[in-house]
Amino acid sequence: MWKIGLIGCGNVGLGLLRILEAKKESLRERYGFTFTVTGVVDPFRGSVGNEEGLDLKALLEAADAKASLDGLGEAIDLDWLLQGRADVIVEATPTNLHDGMPGLGHIRRALEAGCHVVSTNKGPVSLALPELEALARSKGVQYRIEGVLLSGTPAINLAQEALAGCDILSVQGIVNGTTNFILTRMEEGADYQAALSEAQELGYAETDPTADVEGWDAAVKAQVMANVFLGEALTVSDVDRQGITHLKPADIEAARSRGRRVKLIAKVERSGGAVRATVTPTELPLDHPLAGVSGAVNALTYETDHLGEVTIIGPGAGRVETGQALLVDLLALNRH
Ligand code: HSE
């Protein structure tokens, strides 16, 4: 029986709790995965715990009603969970690309305490992936991050498991759902601000959406692609980055009149012994495989030695979609 502690009960954390509540029985039957959520820590909604397991239905009802979680368990903090009350910490606080906090601190403390960590938080990955992986190894636990790329669409699993044995030569694609959604809506005639607000309402955008529209989110994902797929320890400042804020409706219309479509493309490739990573708005011909990827959908094309090109297309953001990434990491822990 896995004891799960959740840090951060926003869009993503609630997405996971919804899946866990809805699929409790089938997860047990199909995967032998049994669990209790012993605690939820969230600075805004409240922090509650129960050693026997919280009532997820009551938690979800309170969250839907935008009510505080206080009273649904005893008042707790992260330390309470790390004193033997969690085997795995799910870290889903908002991404902070500047210093990684508070997520980076939570993850360090959880790994130090010998808990597995599954997380969708891109700040700690961008700033400290090698350190956190080494810490996890030294404690005999895992730090799993499927959700940092393409939400629940299995981009990391694909490379590490399904493509095992292939050399990956380059990877390129659409890795930010918010900007792809905005570009699609602008092509349909919507105004930039309205499209951004819509992306925020749908739970695609970062808490600070500047990270999306200025290309930082995509740059961090390119950094992860370089690290995880090509084994090259780049930092985010190594990524040559441009966002979409300078694009005007007229630019999008002009591309359309040339039979092309603008997409924000992230690419990592080996060139002359070094790895180059870029994020650039790019005009693609309409028959290009990435040109038809619209809305918050993401796609990655892996160029490999044994298979040539392999492309994966699927959701890149969203509550349940990112909750699925956390679930798949929990199931991987259960399998191993
Ligand atoms: N803000 C991100 C996006 C969320 O729009 O892709 C998923 O990482």
CATH number of the domain residue 59 falls in: 3.40.50.720
Counting ligand 1 atoms within 8 A of each CB, the residue from 178, 200, 210 with the most, and so the one to mutate, is 178
Pair 115, 221 in one domain: no
Can you tell me the distance from the alpha carbon of 150 to that of 318, in angstroms, rounded to the nearest whole number? 10
Q: Over the stretch 185-234, which tens digit does the pLDDT of each residue have? A: 999 999 999 999 999 999 889 889 999 999 999 999 999 999 999 999 99
Can you tell me the distance from the alpha carbon of 74 to that of 61, in angstroms, rounded to the nearest whole number? 18
Ligand 1 atom having least distance to the Cα of 317: 7
Pair 111, 134 in one domain: yes
Q: Report CA(298)–ligand 1 centroid distance (Å).
A: 10
pTM of this structure: 0.93
Ligand 1 atom having least distance to the Cα of 175: 6
Pair 123, 101 in one domain: yes
Name the residue with the closest Cα to ligand 1, atom 7: 317
Pair 100, 182 in one domain: no
* Averaged pLDDT in 10-residue chunks for the chain of 336 residues: 96 95 97 98 95 97 92 97 98 94 98 98 95 97 97 96 96 97 94 94 90 96 96 95 94 94 97 93 94 95 97 92 97 95
| CATH number reported for the structural domain that contains residue 206 in this entry | 3.30.360.10
Counting ligand 1 atoms within 8 A of each CB, the residue from 206, 208, 264, 279 with the most, and so the one to mutate, is 206
Pair 91, 210 in one domain: no
Instruction: Please state the domain count of the chain.
Output: 2
Domain that holds residue 138: 2-152+319-335
Tell me what pLDDT residue 19 has.
98
Ligand 1 atom having least distance to the Cα of 148: 8
Ligand 1 atom having least distance to the Cα of 322: 7
Q: Report CA(93)–ligand 1 centroid distance (Å).
A: 14
Pair 323, 284 in one domain: no
Tell me what pLDDT residue 120 has.
96
Q: Report CA(179)–ligand 1 centroid distance (Å).
A: 9
Pair 140, 216 in one domain: no
Pocket of ligand 1 (CB under 6 A): 151, 176-178, 204-206, 212, 217, 316-317
Tell me what pLDDT residue 145 has.
97
Pair 283, 248 in one domain: yes
Active site residues per annotation = 221
Q: How many CB atoms lie within 10 A of CB 297?
A: 19
Pair 280, 199 in one domain: yes
Tell me what pLDDT residue 323 has.
96
| Spatial CB neighbours of 251, under 8 Å, sequence gap ≥ 6 | 262
Q: What is the CA radius of gyration of the chain?
A: 20
Of 110, 139, 156, nearest to 302 (Cα)? 156
| Spatial CB neighbours of 229, under 8 Å, sequence gap ≥ 6 | 159, 168, 171, 268, 302
Q: Report CA(85)–ligand 1 centroid distance (Å).
A: 31
Pair 190, 249 in one domain: yes
Tell me what pLDDT residue 93 has.
95
Tell me what pLDDT residue 68 has.
95
Pair 105, 225 in one domain: no
Q: Report CA(205)–ligand 1 centroid distance (Å).
A: 6
Q: Cα separations (Å) of 189 from 81, 107, 205, 249?
A: 49, 43, 20, 8
Pair 29, 59 in one domain: yes
